Structure 1
Amino acid sequence: MNMIMEKRLDYCGICGSDVKELLTFPEFPFAGRFMKKVCEQPEYIADLSLGICNRCNHVQLITIVEPDFLYTKGYTYRTSKNFLTDSNQKVFLEFIKELYTEKSPTVLDIGCNDLSLLSVMGDYAGYRIGVDPIQSDFIDNHNKIEVHGNFIEEINWSAFQTKPNLIISRHNIEHILDTSKFLNILWNKAEKTTLLVFEFPDAEAMINNLRYDQIFHQHIHYFTRDSFTQLINLHGFEVVASKYNTKMWGGSWIIAFRKGNETLSQNKLNDKLIVNNYEQFKSKNVIIDEHLIKYSDVYGYGAGQMTPVFAYHLPSKLSTIKIIIDDDHEKDGKYFDYINAKIVHSSQIDLSSSTVFITSVDAAATIINNIVARKIILPNILLTI
């Protein structure tokens, strides 16, 4: 077992003030890591601590793992594999098209992942630029697309074949350590007419819905609409429009902004709410776990990237489950780097007379609609169907 070295982020990622530690999770697993064989102990773990700014109430991690480890060694998340990708990208693109009416924009996608979003923008954009450290550099003049395999902070913008006038980023800003440096780069490169459109998980929904299993190493910042507005205001941007997407992460904000001035917002989250709701989250998981271990020969269903994080918060750590079923052929026969259960493709098991515990919380509704089992136990509320 390798304990990954971390550094501390004791200052606020928005205003720079001191951050107070609220919650600590020792020996916390990494999301989305899959192994070819079962491990008696996790190969990689690291302590995780959550804090809140004493001044502006922004919520963020205090313990930070180096990005080079997070995104270049075993990082498996790919946008196109997410079962909600198509519907959520549609919401995002419809929002953009309502606001940005100029024809054939040059689009820069920061954190483009597997190019899933840029691919569906082929007919809309005149030229497409992608930036992501998991990618390799290439330019395809025929299809009017170029990709740079690096972090945006390391990119030389003069290398772009054309200057972007529409900058987009879905579920990326929460991963960025130095948000001030990031936004200063954008302000220096953007024109007054440049439109920026970002989407990020809503931390207010996460806390209110008791979804503390959405806190993990890759997400450094936990923004609300107000805290994100405050961040961009401090760097010379103003909100143009916003839309709430209820289908992603239990709730996410899509914010369009450009250069301008705006009154700062006040974040609604506070330390008492976060700590009190966490105690409710723990109590709920104890009840769910006690209910789960009453059943023998239970199959898990859903080998999602966040399943190890969900398991961490259960007293049993899902140790009573020996097989987790999933619809992704690429995961068949693999294991998580935290859970000993083997992942088996759904085509190999008949569930009609079996009990199933859904182990991918955000996929619960989709899984229920697509499987036939004798009994299904839901992960987020104590309900058996």
Structure 2
Amino acid sequence: MSEAYFHGEYITPKAISKTMNANVKFLVEKFKQHSSKDTIYLEIAPGGCDILFELAKFSPFCYSIDPSLTPSLLLKDCKNVSHVRDFFSYEKVVKQLKHKINFIIFRHLIEHICEPRKFLEDVVKLLEIEGMIYIETPNMLNIIECRRFFEIRHEHCGYYEENTLINILNDLGCELVETLHLYEGQNIGLFFKRREIPLKLEKQISLFDANLGKCFQQEIDKLESFLNAYQNIALYGAASHANSLLSYLSEKNCQKIKMAIDKDERRQGTYLQNSCIKVMKPTIENLQDIECIIMAMPLYEKVVFENELKGIFQGDIIFTSNKIIKYKQS
């Protein structure tokens, strides 16, 4: 994974939909509410830099660190942003600082960290007392409730519920000040404030047994059963969810997948990992022989269905965000 993130062909997600752009604007307003005009930000793994560009408009100075090529290219002309192309550590960042850090942001990163305790300790060490931390991550309780088995994939090292993160940040001297439930609860966003006097608080966490695996397997079996009825299938979405779904399907049904559809032009013409499934544009012509579409983008599947497929695509659609559901077009 380290080699993949450093590779120049690694595609960093960016806001290309109205839903994603609206979420960026919403988050930036939230950051403003928890900061001042003098706040110095550090964003770890800014991805497509959508958030960072907005923060730089009203912050005196911002810092960022990310190993992939995209942020270093996007940020090279930003006068008040100092970017480091590397993996995060306290030692690497502290050498670059010329300001005290008041606000640290990392979104969809902690689930990729193999030593989360060490990572969070480094984050807190960089932050001023009364400074803020914003963490955004998939909501494990929602994954379980909706049985999104394909969220369990190779690039994730851990999965978190709100109370797990509250407990560890409290132990590191940070207090929860606000929780956001994003995309109908699929993601959680947590704002913490570093306090001078450490808190003593422990929240109860959820425990699961082997029945969880059985519940996930039931959803896999349901999807396999649905797909047995088709010969020509497409995945809508070509990012990590699409690649993950492939690893849970039988070889027979994988061979029926003729293409993946994605709006991101950078992905079009490429292939899903270790497959001959080509990524193509979302056009009627490309879908004319497709009998069934699997929505492989759970955060946006309702918006995509309403705006791009409803009344246009005549085949069946399988939704994945809230258990496996098959929808027949009338």
Q: Which interval holds the TM-score relative to the shorter structure? A: 0.7 to 0.9
Shift of 1:70: 4.2
Q: Deviations over 1:201-252 (max 9, x none)?
A: 10010011000101112211100001111221222222122121135xx511
Give distance in 1, aligned partners of 2:242 and 2:76. 37
- Secondary structure in 2 aligned to 1:288? helix
Match status 1:320 vs 2:294: no
Residues 298 and 113 of structure 1: CA distance in aligned 2, closer, same or farther (over 3 Å): closer
Counterpart contact for 2:113–2:157, Cα < 8 Å: yes
Give distance in 1, aligned partners of 2:13 and 2:224. 32
- Secondary structure in 1 aligned to 2:293? strand
- What's the TM-score once normalised by structure 2's chain length? 0.84
Bigger proportion of residues as helix:
2
Give the total of aligned pairs: 313
Give distance in 1, aligned partners of 2:150 and 2:290. 26
Residues 195 and 268 of structure 1: CA distance in aligned 2, closer, same or farther (over 3 Å): same
Give distance in 2, aligned partners of 1:140 and 1:323. 36
- Give the AA of the match of 1:373: F
Q: Which blocks of at least 5 consecutive residues in structure 1 are unaligned?
A: 1-66
Shift of 1:75: 6.6
Residues 256 and 345 of structure 1: CA distance in aligned 2, closer, same or farther (over 3 Å): same
State, as a whole percentage, how many aligned pairs show the same letter. 21
Partner of 2:313: 373
Residues 262 and 251 of structure 1: CA distance in aligned 2, closer, same or farther (over 3 Å): farther
- Secondary structure in 1 aligned to 2:266? helix
What is the correspondence of 1:99-138 to structure 2 with a 5 Å cutoff? 99-100=34-35, 102-135=36-69, 136=72
Partner of 1:384: 328
Partner of 2:83: 147
Match status 1:173 vs 2:113: no
- Give the AA of the match of 2:86: N
Partner of 1:287: 225
Q: Deviations over 1:276-300 (max 9, x none)?
A: 322322332232222xxx2344444
Give distance in 2, aligned partners of 1:319 and 1:200. 32
Give distance in 2, aligned partners of 1:99 and 1:333. 42
Higher mean displacement: 271-280 or 68-77: 68-77
Shift of 1:254: 1.1
- Secondary structure in 2 aligned to 1:120? helix
Cα RMSD for the two superposed structures: 2.7
- Give the AA of the match of 2:242: T
Higher mean displacement: 251-260 or 350-359: 350-359
Match status 1:92 vs 2:27: yes
- Secondary structure in 2 aligned to 1:71? helix
Give distance in 1, aligned partners of 2:237 and 2:120. 36
Bigger proportion of residues as strand:
1
What is the correspondence of 1:1-385 to structure 2 with a 5 Å cutoff? 67-73=1-7, 76-81=10-15, 83=17, 84-100=19-35, 102-135=36-69, 136=72, 143-153=79-89, 154-247=91-184, 251-259=186-194, 260-290=198-228, 294-315=229-250, 316-347=252-283, 349=285, 351=287, 354-362=290-298, 363-369=300-306, 370-371=308-309, 372-380=312-320, 381-385=325-329
Q: Report which structure shows greater RCO (CA 8 Å, sep ≥6).
A: 1
Give distance in 2, aligned partners of 1:237 and 1:137. 34
Q: Deviations over 1:163-188 (max 9, x none)?
A: 22111111111111212221222232
Residues 142 and 368 of structure 1: CA distance in aligned 2, closer, same or farther (over 3 Å): closer
Give distance in 2, aligned partners of 1:141 and 1:160. 19
Q: Which blocks of at least 5 consecutive residues in structure 2 are unaligned?
A: none
- What's the TM-score once normalised by structure 1's chain length? 0.73
- Give the AA of the match of 2:156: H
Residues 215 and 73 of structure 1: CA distance in aligned 2, closer, same or farther (over 3 Å): farther
